[in-house]
Amino acid sequence: MPNKLVTLEGFVISSAKYQEKDALIKLLTRDKVVSIKVRNGFDVASKNHLAILAFNKVSIDCFEMTSGYLTASGVKTLVNYTSLYEKITPNLVGQLAGEIVLKCFGEDDIVPYDFYEETLNQLMKGFDPLTLAFIFACQGIKEGITPEINECVNCGKKRNLVSFAYDEGGFLCDECATEANYPKMDNNYLKVIRYGYLVDAKQLSRAVLPKGPTLKALEDTIKALEEQLGAKIKSYSLMTEAGL
């Protein structure tokens, strides 16, 4: 028997079949990711079908069951983002953001809700998907161990920062990079890394990052995420296959 009715607002980031036509969705709310059972979610004739469309921002009335799980009783679409399905790269960047949320953030973590929402908004406007993908990947790293980007991770110097390595914990000055056998890196790459961690959620469209350094920075960041999680970020592999 249901316990009480609650209303949740957020983004559908995944949906899977549960029994024949029911669905189990993951909803990104401002506070956390919650699982909701949606009766007849995979029945296109059902009003609850709206609750399983990935990317959409929805309001869902849910019964909180005595067993602890939530089941949807009504759905309202607040913002429709399904036009992102029409182009492969924006679609994959949206999938990447959702996958990072699911794999990098636990129940007690502060979720990057504003970054997710603005990423979808900017994808809808046609902003550079590579820039958005890289910035969101940085949000996944930040929930684990944020790399040092303002000074040398070894000696604390703020000048002559010439290299960056996730396995070292961040930026390295000229002297420490030499001692650790890390080469001096392209300055544009270093600027991209710093930008990805410093930019505010509401300023994602402030600059289009240079493609070459950003591709490398995204590759390194996803690799660090995967090593931290021990799990493959499948949407990134699909992005590389699509030639992002």
Give pLDDT, residue 99: 94
Q: Are residues 23 and 103 in the same domain?
A: no
Alpha helices in the chain (DSSP H): 88-104, 113-124, 129-144, 174-179, 187-198, 211-229, 234-241
Do 104 and 140 meet the contact criterion of CB atoms below 8 Å apart? yes
For the chain, how many structural domains are there in total?
2
Question: What secondary structure does DSSP assign to 96-156, as a single string?
Answer: HHHHHHHHH--TTSPP-HHHHHHHHHHHHTT--HHHHHHHHHHHHHHHH-PPB-SS-TTT-
What is the predicted pLDDT for the residue at 231? 80
Do 68 and 136 share a structural domain? no
87 in the same domain as 62: no
Are 32 and 149 found together in one domain? no
The CATH number of whichever domain residue 21 belongs to comes to: 2.40.50.140
Q: Which of 33, 53, 80 is the last residue of a domain?
A: 80
Mean pLDDT of the chain: 90
Residue where one domain finishes, among candidates 80, 104, 126: 80
Query: Residue 60: CB partners within 8 Å, gap ≥ 6?
Result: 7, 8, 9, 27, 36, 51, 72, 74, 75, 76
Q: Domain with 207 in it: what CATH number?
A: 1.20.1440.120
**pLDDT score for 1:** 47
Write out residues in the chain with pLDDT < 50, as ranges: 1-2
Domain that holds residue 212: 83-241
CB 185 within 8 A of CB 206: no
Q: What are phi and psi of 243, to 5 degrees?
A: 85, 35
Domain boundary, last residue among 27, 47, 80: 80
What integer pLDDT is reported at residue 3 of this predicted model? 65
Dihedral of CA atoms 230, 132, 154, 165 in degrees, nearest 10, equals 60
Which one-letter amino acid corresponds to residue 16? A
Asked if 113 and 28 touch (Cβ cutoff 8 Å), the reply is yes
Q: Which position has the token pair 């969705």?
A: 25
pLDDT tens track for 175-205? 999 999 999 999 999 999 999 999 999 999 9
pTM for the model: 0.91
Contact (Cβ atoms closer than 8 angstroms) between residue 70 and residue 222: no
DSSP strand pairing (57-65 vs 70-79): antiparallel
67 with 112, same domain: the answer is no
